[in-house]
Every structure is written in C-alpha cells, then in structure tokens.
C-alpha cells in the first residue's frame, strides 16, 4: 500500500502540533520544515525524534523548493502567507498536489484583512486549494478570501498526554479539589496577566480569609514586572512533559487574554479536567466552554474578579463535576481526528 506523503512548511512548532503530526505519521510519510525555536517558548522536542523535522535556515529558497519537490508530497500544509519563501515553494508545486493554507486569525474587517480579501484571487487562491482554520470565526475569514474548501480544527491539543494526566489526577481531586487557579501562557501584556493579578488581589482584599491561590506558568518580556504576593506563585516556563505535578496540584484554568485567536491551552486543560475561566477574546471558548466554566469581558477586570469569585463559592463536588464535563468536551476532538482531516483529502 502506497502511503500518503504530507509536507508541512511551518512557522514555530510546539509540542501539541508534533503530537498530532506523530499520530499522522502512523499512516503517512511526514516531512516538517520549521522556523527556529522561540526563546519565550523553548519546548523540548526530544520525544518526537521519530519525526522528520528540518530547520528552514538550512536551505536557500531554491534548495528548499528542491527538498520539497524531491519529497514528492501529495499534500503540502503551509503556515499562513507571512513566509515568502514558503509561498514561493507552494507556487512551484504541480497542480495535482493538495496545497493547504492554515489560518488562525478571525475576521474583524480591518483594512489589512480587507486588502487581503481583495488580493486573494490574484495570490492566495492561485497558490492554495484548501484552507485549514481553527474555528468558525476563522472560517469566515477564509470565505472572505474566496475559499470554498475549508477545514476546521487546525489546532489540537496533545490529547493522549493530557488524558493521561486527567486519569492520574481526577480521583485525588474527587477527594480534595485543589483550591488553586492555574494560568499557563507567555508573560506578555495581551495575555491579560496584569488584569489577572489585579483581579485576584482584589478578590483577596475583599475576602482576606480566602484560601485560594493563583499559580502562573510561563515566561516573556513582562517576567520582571510580575506581581509578588504570597498567594501568587510564579514558576517560569515548564516543559509539557513536566506538567504533571502542576496539574495535580491545581484545579481551575484561567486565560484572561485580550487577544487570543484560539488558545490551544484551553483544549489541553479541558482534556486534563479543569473548569475554565476565559475572556470573551479567547477563540477556543466556542468549542470548550459550555457548562464547565465562565466567560467575561476581556476589557473588564471587575468581571474577571467576579468570575473567579464564583469559582471560590463552589464546593469540591460541584467543581469536580465541572472538571469531568471539561474532560468530556476536550475529548470530542483528538489527534486522531486531526490526522484524519488530512488523510481524508
């Protein structure tokens, strides 16, 4: 049986993408060309040694085109249209190759997006046969660009990894649910970190006897400006395979981003069994927030504080039921489903 060959022209790879690619590699030959690792998210990819991953910096534009051509792909998946070298490679591919553009920005009607929509028939639609987006708001953008062949579900958590963490932690949480909020993201302003710390400090001020903590994992350009408080813990960047102890020790996931086209971490922590508190700017809430958490206006620190207050007013049994609902929601889309999206092409 001839195996499908799929090449990825990727920007910054992360563990969740490689987990999905590893699942795909069970039934296809996979080649991944990637940008250098981001210093703000220095993931360790050693557990994916079986994947064929190559740095783009090894190649000139022409040698990269030759590398992809020699791989003889049936499908090429390209991270957006920001990398002109990648676009040049796609442009040179034969007509029978399925050429998939990925897109995680949602349609907001900005001047830049309207210009892209006007130019698409002369550029993007000539280069690509399909668009693979994260969710419904991104599908609207893809339609504005003139595409009809639109796939959803481009981002997927490492569901096997986080399901294992759920299985190992849920019984202990049923007995004693951890009274700790968890934030996992880069320490940058648009992630809403300052609003998060302010909201939590206000909550503590209103109720000095509150026995909840806020644990924060990540790093970024605002690390030196982090708020110091005995009930706010900062752990820096944590590799995904070292997350077990933090998942076991915390209970509710908070992502207060002011701008978040999707947010794979929401899927990850849903699978891990976390009730969620998400701003209305988080795209992933469309899939993973139903009756398992709270949403608030990203511009309102007061609403964030009130959402966190509602969490603290629930008992362990109620929180555990929400945790189980989160897990069920998270498992509605797995790395196997992600792989099948491409194989079905």
Q: Tell me if residue 266 falls in helix, strand or coil.
A: helix
| pLDDT tens digits for range 151-160 | 999 999 999 9
| Nearest by Cα to 53 from 30, 75, 71 | 30
DSSP state of 308: H
More confidently predicted of 128 and 119: 128
Q: Return the CATH number of 4-156+333-343, one of 3.40.50.10470, 1.10.1740.10, 3.40.50.11930, 3.20.20.70.
A: 3.40.50.11930
pLDDT at 42: 61
Distances from the Cα of 286 to the Cα of 51, 140, 291, 293, angstroms: 32, 14, 12, 12
Q: What is the mean pLDDT of the chain?
A: 94
Signed CA dihedral, 298, 277, 268, 138: sign only: negative
- Residues comprising the chain, all counted: 345
What pLDDT is recorded for position 117? 84
For residue 179, what are the contacts with CB-CB under 8 A and spacing of at least 6?
A: 211, 212, 213, 251, 312
- Give the global pTM: 0.93
Within 8 A by CB and 6+ apart from 245, the residues are: none
Quick one: tokens of 325?
Answer: 């609902």
Q: In this predicted structure, what is the pLDDT of residue 194? A: 98
Structure tokens belonging to residue 265 = 């971490």
At residue 112, the pLDDT reads 86
Specify the DSSP element, H or E, that contains 255: strand 252-255
CATH topology agreement for domains 4-156+333-343 and 159-330: yes
**Domain positions in the chain:** 4-156+333-343, 159-330
Rounded Cα distance between 277 and 330, Å, is: 15
- Give the bridge partners for 164, in sequence order: none
Structural Rg of the chain based on CA atoms = 21
* pLDDT at residue 178, as a whole number: 98
What is the mean predicted confidence (pLDDT) over 30-48?
A: 79
Question: What fold is seen in the domain 159-330?
Answer: Rossmann fold (3.40.50)
What DSSP state is assigned to residue 191? G
């Amino acid at each position: 049986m001839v195996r499908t060959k799929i090449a990825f022209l990727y920007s910054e790879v992360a563990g969740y993408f490689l987990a999905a690619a590893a699942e795909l590699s069970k039934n296809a030959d996979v080649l991944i060309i990637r940008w250098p690792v981001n210093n703000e998210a220095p993931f360790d990819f050693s557990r994916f040694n079986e994947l064929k991953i190559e740095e783009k910096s090894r190649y000139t534009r022409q040698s990269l085109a030759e590398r992809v051509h020699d791989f003889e792909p049936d499908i090429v998946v390209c991270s957006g249209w920001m990398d002109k070298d990648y676009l040049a490679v796609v442009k040179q591919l034969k007509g029978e190759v399925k050429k998939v553009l990925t897109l995680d920005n949602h349609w907001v009607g900005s001047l830049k997006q309207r210009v892209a929509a006007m130019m698409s028939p002369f550029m993007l639609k000539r280069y690509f046969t399909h668009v693979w987006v994260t969710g419904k708001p991104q599908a609207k953008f893809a339609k504005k660009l003139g595409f009809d062949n639109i796939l959803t579900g481009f981002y997927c958590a490492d569901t096997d990894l986080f399901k294992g963490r759920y299985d190992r932690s849920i019984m202990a949480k049923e007995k004693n649910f951890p009274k700790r909020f968890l934030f996992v993201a880069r320490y940058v302003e648009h992630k809403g970190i300052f609003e998060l710390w302010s909201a939590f400090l206000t909550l503590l001020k209103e109720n000095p006897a509150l026995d909840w903590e806020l644990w924060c994992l990540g790093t970024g350009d605002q690390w030196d400006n982090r708020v110091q408080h005995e009930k706010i813990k900062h752990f820096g960047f944590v590799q995904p395979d070292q997350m077990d102890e933090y998942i076991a020790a915390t209970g509710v996931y908070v992502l207060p981003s002011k701008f978040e086209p999707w947010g794979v971490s929401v899927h990850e922590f849903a699978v891990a069994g976390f009730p969620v508190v998400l701003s209305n700017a988080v795209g992933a809430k469309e899939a993973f927030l139903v009756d398992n958490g709270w949403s608030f206006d990203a511009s309102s620190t007061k609403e964030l504080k009130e959402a966190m207050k509602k969490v603290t007013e629930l008992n362990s049994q109620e929180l555990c039921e929400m945790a189980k609902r989160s897990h069920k929601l998270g498992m509605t889309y797995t790395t196997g489903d992600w792989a099948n999206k491409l194989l079905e092409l």
